[in-house]
Structure 1
Amino acid sequence: MGAACDPGRRLCLSFPPEQDAAVRRGREFTRRALAEWHLCAPRSRATPLLAEDVLLVTAELLANACLHGGGPRELVVEHLPGVVGVAVSDASPALPRRRRIEAGQPGGYGLLAVERIAVCWGTTVDASGKTVWAELLTTRPRWC
């Protein structure tokens, strides 16, 4: 499936330079991880499908790395009790920022979507670039 950082709970996918189809490759990697962890629940009207939310966040973080970070270096997908974490690293130290959304113009909604879907998200910067991460709940809060 990919290089396992911590078999079963933390899976890593490295991207070579000039990676074509990074978003598609990362989504498929994440889809297989979710299936391996039995987190691809059947569709329900009462709750959104966790897998679709995780895949959307993964695609947005990878697309941003492609568009603004010189391409992704690594994708990490992690399953902890109650949470799925997604992290994408790239070589750019520039922090992500939400673009001003202009009516009738495409783009600018990616980080807004991540912010609304994830329970939390953020950025870690180091000497080799940055990692943008997000965490999604695997279960709904009791009173929602």
Structure 2
Amino acid sequence: MHGMHSVVDWLSFAVWEDGLLIRSLSLSPDGGIRENIGKPYDFELPYWAGEHPVEPVPGWPNQAPYPLPFHPLALGEQALRALFGFVVEGHPESDDIDAEAVHLHGFRVTDPSGEEQAAREAAYAQARRAMSSPRRFRLGPDGAMHEVSLESS
């Protein structure tokens, strides 16, 4: 299993062998290390050893040190390569799989009776009725969020 979320710099991966969890890691700069089970793989070791520190962004004042010894998404790309043979945003190597060339089968699950879809639509309609009107906010010059009309956005 592998998951990354670039908005929050979150990485999680896990490996099972014969139904046993061998390695699991889940971390983000805001949440810290949420799970760290099993012995780190060889591809992780340089990251844990501090060989891939997060450098401060030039021109940004008052930057605190990055709360982890490496950027989770950088390790995430190495995990993709080591576990699955390809990268998504990293620099591909000559022996990486071309992920865009892999054909996948798609399946659609249907509800022949239509009852499940009708129940979902009724639940959505009820939720929409219970919701208030949408509101929109914009960051003001004072750094605070201010409500703006929907027409002005």
Question: Could you say which TM-score interval applies, normalised by the shorter chain?
Answer: under 0.3
Structure having greater relative contact order (Cα 8 Å, sep ≥ 6): 1
Q: TM-score, normalised by structure 1?
A: 0.26
Bigger Cα Rg = 2
Structure holding more strand per residue = 1
